[in-house]
Amino acid sequence: MPLKRELGLRDLTLFAIACIVGPRWLSTAAHAGPGSLLLWLLAAVLFLIPLSIAVAVLTAKNPAAGGLYRWTHADFGPWHGFLAFWTYWVGIAFWFPSAAMFYASIVLEPLGRSGDRKWILIVSLAMIWLALGTNLVGVSIGKWTESAGALASWVMAALLMMAAWLVWRRVGVATSFHVLPSAHWETVNFWSTIAYGMTGIEAAAFMGSEMRNPGRDMPRAAWISSAFITIFYVGSTAALMVIRSPDQISELSGLAQVSTTAGNLLHAAWIAPAMVLLVLLTAIGQFGGLGSSVSRMPFAAGADHLLPSAFARVHRRWNTPYVSMLAFGVLASLLLIAVQIGDTMRAAYQTLVSLMVMTGFFSYIYLFGSAWKAGRRWTAVAGQAITALALICSVAPTDEIRNVGLFELKLLGGTAAVVLTGWLIYRRYAPRQTALT
């Protein structure tokens, strides 16, 4: 059963914004200090723009469902296509629980339980399955949650910048701004996070077979979303630091802290609950967009007989690859539980982020390799350089990590397990693909 073409230019633009925007990176960037503003701009120029160009070109060239998997399969062969899909898919599985932990902290902050590990776990699991369950009913319904999330991010940015302007006029600026980022070892890991915050446009391209006109709409959506994302990150990060100093902004609950401070300073108690609502709407859009889009890769691999045929099943009523989505939810849930073992919640969150960056960025080597083959040489060079830098920086422990050995073991062991598992699955099903094709 074929997937339906439901996405026009407006839908695709909002879908792309929903996949890219990450409110939690605002707290991370503000906590790192004013130098993060320059890093956002550099990441936009050196990575986001090359990524958008590459994705637009590759989507026009091969707009089938699965995006990255299809591009790599065509340019480098079936094993490389499978490995690119597998590492990206698992990377997003790491992203889901780490993002859910952040959003759960925002929800629980007004209740005084943002640091309660048990409640963080319960709320995180509930959010993951709520988002996946909603998107099982189809793109025609799911696209509205992505659109609502993208629009909420616009309102969030406007609210933060307006509140910062009013706070500046009334009491001054909480942070002494400077241009250059800190060069401490503890901030190196953050550089990879900045680059990762600019990713996501490629996820929208995984929906190629559900776009009405991919060759025309994807390039336009890429440029519009790239401009908004840059303004969102730079403007909102600066706003947080105007209201509160970096050392008083938590990476997990910084948005809640800043909105509460702004509400107190401006005598506007509604700001904090409004920010929680906007963050939740953005989260729903982000979970929906990424959960829906990444499911198209195992769907495509299943159709090629590189996974069990069940992954290629499309629900008769909802027209969604429901087996793929359910498998993803189970994996994300198990990772969320497993990463809690043997460390503090903050360290567990950082471990998830680093695993997410390492596994996720591995697939960009292939993406920009395909861009090189498509004739976009400078795009490929810039993208590969930032990808390599991000992979190196992701292994550096932050100052919150107390057990460095366990942190590095989780990273190296987790990454090796991802690649090995992918190889074993591919070896299991590759002979079947050869026989059937």
Look at residue 418 in the predicted model and tell me its pLDDT: 82
Note the Cα 385 to chain centre separation in Å: 20
pLDDT of residue 342: 53
pLDDT for res 350:
58
The domains of the chain, with CATH numbers, are 9-436 (1.20.1740.10)
| Tens digits of residue pLDDT in 321-334 | 888 888 888 888 88
pTM: 0.84
Residues of the chain whose pLDDT is less than 70? 1-4, 110, 112-116, 137-142, 181-189, 339-356, 395-408, 432-437
Angle at 293 between CA 292 and CA 294, to 5 degrees: 100
Q: What is the predicted pLDDT for the residue at 244? A: 93
pLDDT of residue 353: 64
For 206-220, how does the pLDDT look when each residue is reduced to its tens digit (9 = 90+)? 887 778 888 888 889
Burial of residue 77 (CB within 10 Å: 0-12, 13-18, 19+) is exposed
